[in-house]
Chain A
Amino acid sequence: MNTITRSTRLSKVAGVISVVLVAALIAVPWWAVASTEHLLAEFCIYLALASLWNLLAGYTGLVSVGQQAYVGLGGYVLFTCSVFLGLHPILSILLAGLAAALVAVPVAALVFRLQGAYFAIGTWVVAEVFRLSFAQMTALGGGSGYSLPVPIIKMLGDAKPVREANIYWISLALGIGALALVYTLLRSKIGLALTAIRDSEIASSSLGVKIDRIKYAVYIAVAALTSMVGCIIFLQKLRISPDAAFSVNDWTAFVIFIVVIGGIGTIEGPILGTIIYFLLREYLANLGSIYLMILGALAIVIMLTAPKGIWGYISKRWNIALFPVGYRINFKD
């Protein structure tokens, strides 16, 4: 019999290191200072957003510039559930996922009629419509926004350190969860179809892959999870406004930067990209607008020299994968 292997020695080592790393991250509230904890929570949020956007754009080719629609929607669902219904934030997070999935169905039906650049612009327009609509809702503070009621915040712990630890763990769960989900999905049968769609849509459908169905499913699932991430973002910020909630810069432009420099269409790319983004931000952000110019210049240099991103370059150069999703066959004879 021919044998098929789906892991390498390197990937087994990477797996063990990942487990140790996740354990260390879970323990952060006990060993790290508050500022580190806060930074790592934000890291997890961007890791989740980047992994999800990569699944959407990198694999199904749906280059959305409007994922802030779902970040903002999630945030507003959290505030609505809290202010009007007094629900526990964790329940609100789940409801936000559900709400976004429901909203994503008609939105997908609309934007899927557009191709390529028109799709990108269409998704952005949808996000702007969301922003303008929420700015009209006076019950939620209209254009100036709303603060999360104190009793809701206290549901996550009376003491500040407890509360912040809980918010950190939820962020971690979403960050690791999004990554684990993408990895599991890509290793499954659907993953084979997604990887094929990434490389050629026309060839995939000619080989029996139901492209439209997979695109719809991915778009809706990514919307739901992005919305849940949006919840935790505004649970951290404690205040929401339409401009912050539906910010194309914060929730899409930086995310695209992360995925593009890290390596689009790979699992490792968004992880590497998020690490690079946070390193740059920590050391350069006090330069003000020059920092943004450096980010832009870096993105251009990488796109010109390594179009598949840093991880794309590494994996091709040395033919390695930390989280392999492919198949290697060894023939018997």
Chain B
Amino acid sequence: MAILSLQNLTKRYGALIVTDGLSLDVEKGELLGILGPNGAGKTTLFNLIAGTVKPDQGRVFFNDEDISGQGVSERCRKGISRSFQVPHPFGRMTVFENVLVGATFGRQNSSSQPEAHAADVLELTGLKSKANTLAGSLTLLERKRLEMAKALATDPKLLLLDEIAGGLTERECQSLLAAIRDVHKSGVTIVWIEHVVHALLSVAQRLMVVNFGKKIADGNPATVMASAEVKSVYMGEDALV
């Protein structure tokens, strides 16, 4: 059963079409990776799913409910949560308070112990020792972890990760991957946009490639990576010869 279903989504900025009639079904429990060159419309796709941006055409279904007209915070409480490509920490709040915001306002069942839930999330994401540190003073890796922790604090059913491995060292990347695997194992559906291809391929069960707002390949990661069209997008026309 599809947890997320995008039907014929189109988004234009003036003459520029950033999402061009894109349709996509994400199955419950799946870990879908999204690849595409810069400017392909990947982050816009997340904005359309999370509700930050409204489509010009098309619909978004979540658990078979049409959520196209709903705002960001409403979709969050329904179970859609995202991490931002450029981390958006609450800089003058502590790490614990950052996570507590999501635990208090972002969950469907918000009555249940937000403090305890936030503490659990810090443990899961390895941020326990930083709990009382101001988020503004964190390192890049810690900020990326915090992005994920905030998203997880809302008890998401669908987690959207936007280039969360970018800029990390290989070791940092491995520890982040372990955390992502744990979250996926706990039953959360994940859609992950990433430029760090080997990291993405090590966990993705399915791969979609977009270019100019269109889906150019979708399916088994190995097959997709081997396809001629994907190679041409990534390595230029010459690679085909």
Contact = CB atoms under 8 A, between A and B. Distances in A.
Contact of A327 (B76, B90, B97): B97
A208 interface: yes
Interface in A173-204: 189, 192-193, 195-196, 198-200, 202-204
A202 B128 contact: no
Point out which of A189, A196, A207, A326 has the most chain B C-beta atoms below 10 A from its C-beta.
Answer: A207
A79 B92 CA distance: 43
Contacts of A205: 71-73, 76
Given A2-B119, A4-B115, A200-B89, A209 B52 contact: no
A35 interface: no
Point out which of B81, B89, B106 has the most chain A C-beta atoms below 10 A from its C-beta.
Answer: B106
Interface of A: 2, 4, 189, 192-193, 195-196, 198-200, 202-211, 265, 326-329, 331
Given A192-B97, A210-B73, A329 B119 contact: yes
A189 B97 CA distance: 12
Contacts of A329: 96, 115, 119, 131-132
A196 B92 contact: no
Contacts, number: 98
B145 interface: no
Contact of B102 (A189, A208, A326, A327): A208
Contacts of A202: 52, 84, 88
14 contacts: A192-B101, A192-B104, A195-B90, A196-B90, A200-B90, A203-B150, A204-B101, A206-B76, A206-B82, A207-B73, A207-B105, A208-B154, A326-B93, A331-B131
B231 interface: no
B42 interface: no
A265 B92 contact: yes
B153 A207 contact: yes
Contact of B119 (A196, A206, A207, A331): A331
A327 B107 contact: no
Contact of B94 (A189, A200, A211, A328): A328
Contact of B97 (A210, A326, A331): A326
B132 A208 contact: no
B90 A203 contact: yes
A195 B90 CA distance: 8
Contacts of A265: 92
Given A200-B89, A205-B73, A327 B104 contact: no
A208 B106 contact: yes
B181 interface: no
Nearest to A193: B105
Contacts of B105: 192-193, 207-210
Contacts of A192: 97, 100-101, 104-105
A174 to B, nearest CB: 28
B115 A203 contact: no
Contacts of A4: 115
